[in-house]
Structure 1
Amino acid sequence: MDKSALEIALGDEAATQLFGEDISLAVRPGDLIRLEGDLGAGKTTLARALIRAMAGDPDLEVPSPTFTLVQSYELRIPVHHLDLYRLADPDEIDELGIDELAGSGAILVEWPERAGDRLPAASLIIRIEQEGGSRRATVSGEPAALARLRRSLAIRSFLRDAGWGQGHRRFLLGDASTRAYETVETEQGVRILMNAPKQPDGPPIRDGKPYSQIAHLAESVLPFVAIDEALRSEGFCAPEVYAADIDSGLLLIEHLGSGSFLSPEGEPVRERYEEAARLLAAIHVKPWSEEICTSADAKHAIPRYDRGAMMIEVELVTDWYMPYATGRPPEASVRGEFLDAWNAVFDRLENAETSLVLRDYHSPNLIWREERQGLDRLGLVDFQDAMIGPAAYDVASLAMDARVTIPAELERAIVQAYVEARTAAGPFDRSGFEEAYAIMAAQRNSKILGIFVRLDRRDGKPQYLKHLPRIRAYLGRALAHPSLAPVAQFYRHHGLLEETAA
C-alpha cells in the first residue's frame, strides 16, 4: 500500500457519516473524489453525508444519481455527484461535461472505474471495504488534497480528546485570512472550532523581517487565548476556551450567538453601533498590561502598534492600490513622496492616547446579544492581532465599517456615543482624540484599499473590489481633517480617491 495513504476505520453508519463531514471540510473547488468499493460498501452513504454537511442540512434529500448519472448541488462549493454504474461505454463520459463540472465546483464519482481513463486525475481516491460488520476506508491521492484531509482528521482527533468527537461539523467562516471556523454540534449544544495553523513566514521585505512580523500579525493561537483571558478577566464578553492545542493551532471555544449589527434589510442599526462605541470606551479606561501570563502559564507580549507597523500597512496603497487605480506601479520618487507625507502625519500621533487595540472591531466580529445586559450584550470574537496603540483606531474601525455603508450622520452619532461615555468616565482630551481618530481612519482605510485589491489580484477573490467605493468615501471623510493635509494632497494629486475603470 502507498505509504502516504490513510486508513480510517468506520465502525458503523454514524462513523461513515462523520467521515463524510470530515471530508467536506477538506474539499476545495476543482477537486475530483473517486469513491470506490463493491455494492453496499457505503459509497452512497459517504457521498450523502458529505453533501449534507456541505449544505448544512442533515435532512437534505440526496437521491442516488444511478439513473440520471449526475446530480448537482449549488452549495458553498458547488458539488456534482456522479454515479457511473449504468454507464454503457467510457466514451459516454464526454457527454457529461466533466471539465465544465470541475471548473464550477467539486466532483464526487461513484463507480469511477466504469469511465476507464476518461476521468481527470483524482484529488482523492477513497476505497471502502467491508470488514465483517464494519467498514474500512483507504484514502490516497494528490499530496495537497491528502494534507487537507489529514488536517481535517486531526481536527476530529482534537474534538475527540475534548469530549466532542461525535460532534457534527459544519463550515462557518473562512476566506480572507489563514483562519477558518466551524460549528460543532452535539446534544450538549454548539461550540466553535477555530482552525488557525501556524503559517510559514513570507519572504523578508524589510530589515530581514516578513510582512507578518512587521505588521505584528498573530503567528499562533496563543495571542487569541491570552487576549481572551485578559478581556474576560475585566468582565468583557469574549468566548470561553474549552480546549486548546496551541502547537497545532486548534481551539474549541464558546458560541456567543449570531445576533447581527444589521437590520433584516441589511442596514446598520444605530443602537447597536452606539452600544459598541460605549463598550470601546469601557475598554479604553481600563489599564492593560503589555505582557499576559495565561492560565496555562504561557506568556504573550502584546506588540506595540508602532510606526513600522502603521507604515507597512499604508504601503499597501503603493504596492497594490496605485497600480490598480492608475494602471502602472508608482516610480521610486512617488513612493518617497508618499512615505514623506505619511511620516509627517504619523509624527502627530506622538502624544495620542494609547490602549488595547483589538484591530478589527467592526460588525463581522461583533455579536449582538439582545437578551443580555451591560458588557455581556456585545460578544467579541476576533482579537488575536490585538496591539497596544492609538485608542482611536478601533473607534474608526467601528464608525467606518469596512463591510457596511455607514452614512456620515451615523458615523458622527457613533463617535459622539464614544466621546460621551469617555467624558462621563473622567478627563478626556476630545481635540486630541479627534485628530488621532482622523489619522487612524485614514491609515486603516488606506490599508484596506490595498488589501482588497491584493485579494483580487494575488488571491483571485474579485468579490472584494465591490467594497472599494465605500472605502474611498470613508477615506475622503478622514482626509478632511487639517492634520492630514500632506496625505490628502498626495491622494488627490494622484487621483486615488476617484473611481477607476481598471
Structure 2
Amino acid sequence: MAVLVLERFLADEAATARLGEDLAMSLRIGDVLALKGDLGAGKSTLARALVRALADDAGLDVPSPTFTLVQSYDTRVPVHHFDLYRLGTASELDELGFDEAVTQGAALVEWPERAEAYLPNTSVLVEFLQQGDGRLARLSGEGAAFERAARSLAMRDFLGQAGWGEAQRRYFIGDASARSYEIVTLAGFPPRVLMNSPRLVLGPPVRDGKPYADIAHTAQSVSAFVAIDRALRAGGVSVPEIHAQDLDQGFLLLEHLGSQGFLDKRGQPVAERYAAAAELLAMMHGKTWPARMQAGPGVFHEVPPFDRDAMMIEAELLVDWYVPAISGAPPSEALRAGYRSEWNAVLDRLEGREYTLMLRDFHSPNLIWRADRSGHDRLGVVDVQDALIGPSAYDVASLAMDARVTISPEIEKHTLAAYIAARRAAGVFDEDEFLETYAIMAAQRNSKVLGIFVRLEKRDGKPYYLKHLPRIRDYLRRALAHPALAGLQDFYIAHGLLEERSI
C-alpha cells in the first residue's frame, strides 16, 4: 500500500488548533498520531486542541507529558498522550503500556523518532516544518486512519468554501450507517450541523447478482437526502435548510433544528409529542409527492418503491442474523422456505393499499421537538435519505412502535388515534384497512430490526444494540396479534421466534 501525503499551511496557533480539531473528529480506537517537529513547532498546541475537542471542553487542562511521559484522558475516544523526548530506548514503550493504550484508545506520540520502528505502520505522521512566518503540517500514512484524517481535512476545506473555515467542530452523533454529524459553531451565527455522508459501499451480491443495498433500496449518495429534504420543505415539513452542499464528496452544512427530543427528563416517551408526530404524518399522507426529486442543477433522485423484494429481504434479516444468534446454528432450508411462504401470503394483502412517500425511520432519534413553534412546525424531521414510495402505514408503525424507546400499548393506541382522527378530518379514510396494513408493516419492520440489531453486534462490533431486543420482540407480539396475521403468528410461535432469548 502506497504512503499518501497531505499538506496544510498553518499561519498561526489558531490554525494549528483547528487542525487538532479536524484530527479529533477522525480519531478512532487503535489510531496512532505521530507528531514530529522541533521544539515550539506546534506539536503540543495540536495535541491540546485535539484532546479538548474529544472532551468537548475548551478549558480542559492538558499539560505536556514531558516528565510523566504519558497522560491519559477519558474522552469520547479515550486518548493517551505520549511524550518520548526523555525516552531512553524504544523498548521502554512496553513499560509505559503503549500496546494496551492503543488497544483501549488512541495514541498521540510526540518525538516519535525516538521509537519509530516500534510504532505501527498504520500510524499517521504529522510533521511540522518551518515555512515563512508559519508552519507547514505534512500528514503521511496509509490505511483507514489516514483516509479518515484526509476526509476530515476535506470537510474543513468544505467549511472554508462555505465561509465557515474558522468554525469550531464538535462531534454530534453517528448512526448505524457510515454517516456522522458534527455541530459547528462560528461567532455571530446560530450553530449548524455538518453532515458527513460518504457514498455507500455496496457489499457482495446476495441475491440475483445484486447486493443487499440495491435490493433494499438503501440510499447510495447524499443526493438522495438533498432531493428529499428539498421536496419535504416545499411540502410544509420542517426539515433542515441546506446552507451548503458538496454532492460529490458527500458533505452538507445544515440548519440545526434543535436538541430537544421526544422523551422527558426520565427518558420516557411524551405521549403528546408522539400524537403531534402522527398528525404530521397524516398531513403528509394527504399530499401527492413526486417520485422524481431534484438535488441540484441537472441532478435528480428517483425515489425507489418499497416493493416486495425490498420488504422480503429486510424481513429475512431475522432469519439471516437473529435465528443463528438465538439457536446457535444456521437456519434450516425448511425454516427459510416456510418463513418466505408465510410472508409472501401476508404481503399479498397489500395489493391496492394506500402508498405514499414513506421516510422509513420516522421515530424518536430522527424527530426534534420545538416547543416554541406551533402546528406542524413544532416537529423537526431529520435523516430522510432512505425514503421510499410505500404503504403509508409504515411510518406510523415506525413511530408508534419506536425501536429505541419503549412505547406502552396505551401510548401506541393514543398515537394511532391521533393519526386516524386527522385522516378522517381530511376526508374519506378506511380505518380497518389502515389497521391491517399497520399490523403488516409493524411486523415486517420489527422482524427486520431484530436482524439488524444482531447484525450490528455480530458484524459491526456494536453490542449496545442488543439491549433493545426484548422491546422489539414485544412489538412483534403486538403486531402479530392482528387476525390477518394469524398464520404468520403461528409460524413465529412454532419456531420460538417470539420467546425471550439471551444473545
Q: TM-score range by the shorter chain?
A: over 0.9
Q: Does 1:23 align with 2:23?
A: yes
Which deviates more, 382-391 or 163-172? Answer: 163-172
Q: Does 1:154 align with 2:164?
A: no
Are the counterparts in 1 of residues 3 and 142 from structure 2 also a CA contact under 8 Å? no
Q: Does 1:414 align with 2:391?
A: no
Cα deviation for residue 198 of structure 1 reads 1.0
Q: Tell me the secondary structure at the aligned position of residue 85 of structure 2.
A: coil
Q: Does 1:390 align with 2:391?
A: yes
Q: Kindly provide the CA deviation profile for residues 403-443 of structure 1, in whole angstroms up to 9, marking residues without a partner as x.
A: 00111111111111111111111111000000000000000
Cα deviation for residue 199 of structure 1 reads 2.3
Which deviates more, 181-190 or 101-110? Answer: 181-190
Which deviates more, 115-124 or 490-499? Answer: 115-124
Q: Which residue of 1 aligns with 2:351?
A: 350
Which deviates more, 109-118 or 62-71? Answer: 109-118
Are the counterparts in 2 of residues 35 and 108 from structure 1 also a CA contact under 8 Å? yes
Compared CA separation, residues 347 and 143, structure 1 to 2 (3 A): same
Q: What residue ranges of structure 1 are gaps of 5+ in the alignment?
A: none
Whole-angstrom CA distance in 2 between matches of 1:479 and 1:21: 49
Q: Kindly provide the CA deviation profile for residues 439-480 of structure 1, in whole angstroms up to 9, marking residues without a partner as x.
A: 000000000000001011111111111110110011011010
Q: Which residue of 2 aligns with 1:6?
A: 6
Q: Which residue of 2 aligns with 1:45?
A: 45
Whole-angstrom CA distance in 2 between matches of 1:311 and 1:501: 26
Q: Kindly provide the CA deviation profile for residues 354-377 of structure 1, in whole angstroms up to 9, marking residues without a partner as x.
A: 111000000000010010111211
Q: Map residues 357-368 of structure 1 onto 2, 5 A cutoff.
A: 357-368=358-369
Q: Tell me the secondary structure at the aligned position of residue 239 of structure 1.
A: coil
Q: Which residue of 2 aligns with 1:59?
A: 59
Cα deviation for residue 4 of structure 1 reads 2.1
Are the counterparts in 2 of residues 342 and 487 from structure 1 also a CA contact under 8 Å? yes
Whole-angstrom CA distance in 2 between matches of 1:72 and 1:366: 36
Per the normalisation by structure 2, the TM-score is: 0.97
Cα deviation for residue 204 of structure 1 reads 1.8
Whole-angstrom CA distance in 2 between matches of 1:342 and 1:91: 61
Q: Which residue of 2 aligns with 1:445?
A: 446
Cα deviation for residue 329 of structure 1 reads 1.1
Cα deviation for residue 260 of structure 1 reads 1.2
Counterpart code for 1:127: E
Q: Which residue of 1 aligns with 2:127?
A: 127
Whole-angstrom CA distance in 1 between matches of 2:144 and 2:92: 30
Counterpart code for 1:162: A
Q: Does 1:336 align with 2:337?
A: yes
Whole-angstrom CA distance in 2 between matches of 1:295 and 1:148: 27
Q: Which residue of 2 aligns with 1:327?
A: 328
Runs of 4+ aligned structure 1 residues displaced above 6 Å come to none
Compared CA separation, residues 109 and 75, structure 1 to 2 (3 A): same
Q: Tell me the secondary structure at the aligned position of residue 107 of structure 2.
A: strand
Q: Kindly provide the CA deviation profile for residues 290-326 of structure 1, in whole angstroms up to 9, marking residues without a partner as x.
A: 1223453422211111111100100101111111111
Q: Which residue of 2 aligns with 1:471?
A: 472
Percent identity over paired residues: 59
Q: Which residue of 2 aligns with 1:114?
A: 114
Q: Tell me the secondary structure at the aligned position of residue 5 of structure 1.
A: strand
Are the counterparts in 2 of residues 127 and 138 from structure 1 also a CA contact under 8 Å? yes
Whole-angstrom CA distance in 2 between matches of 1:91 and 1:254: 50
Q: Which residue of 1 aligns with 2:402?
A: 401
Cα deviation for residue 183 of structure 1 reads 1.4
Which deviates more, 317-326 or 64-73? Answer: 64-73
Q: Kindly provide the CA deviation profile for residues 145-196 of structure 1, in whole angstroms up to 9, marking residues without a partner as x.
A: 2211111111111111111111111111114102111111111221111111
Counterpart code for 1:143: G
Are the counterparts in 1 of residues 276 and 376 from structure 2 also a CA contact under 8 Å? no
Q: Which residue of 1 aligns with 2:261?
A: 260
Cα deviation for residue 6 of structure 1 reads 1.7
Q: Map residues 230-309 of structure 1 onto 2, 5 A cutoff.
A: 230-294=231-295, 296-309=297-310
Whole-angstrom CA distance in 1 between matches of 2:464 and 2:202: 26
Per the normalisation by structure 1, the TM-score is: 0.97
Cα deviation for residue 109 of structure 1 reads 1.0
Q: Map residues 470-489 of structure 1 onto 2, 5 A cutoff.
A: 470-489=471-490
Whole-angstrom CA distance in 1 between matches of 2:400 and 2:88: 62
Cα deviation for residue 89 of structure 1 reads 4.3
Aligned residues: 501
Whole-angstrom CA distance in 1 between matches of 2:79 and 2:288: 51
Are the counterparts in 2 of residues 33 and 122 from structure 1 also a CA contact under 8 Å? no
Q: Which residue of 2 aligns with 1:426?
A: 427
Q: What residue ranges of structure 2 are gaps of 5+ in the alignment?
A: none
Are the counterparts in 2 of residues 321 and 450 from structure 1 also a CA contact under 8 Å? yes
Whole-angstrom CA distance in 2 between matches of 1:27 and 1:347: 48
Counterpart code for 1:375: H
Q: Tell me the secondary structure at the aligned position of residue 205 of structure 2.
A: coil
Are the counterparts in 2 of residues 449 and 471 from structure 1 also a CA contact under 8 Å? yes
Cα deviation for residue 115 of structure 1 reads 3.8
Whole-angstrom CA distance in 1 between matches of 2:142 and 2:289: 48
Q: Kindly provide the CA deviation profile for residues 252-307 of structure 1, in whole angstroms up to 9, marking residues without a partner as x.
A: 11111111111111111111111111111111111112122345342221111111
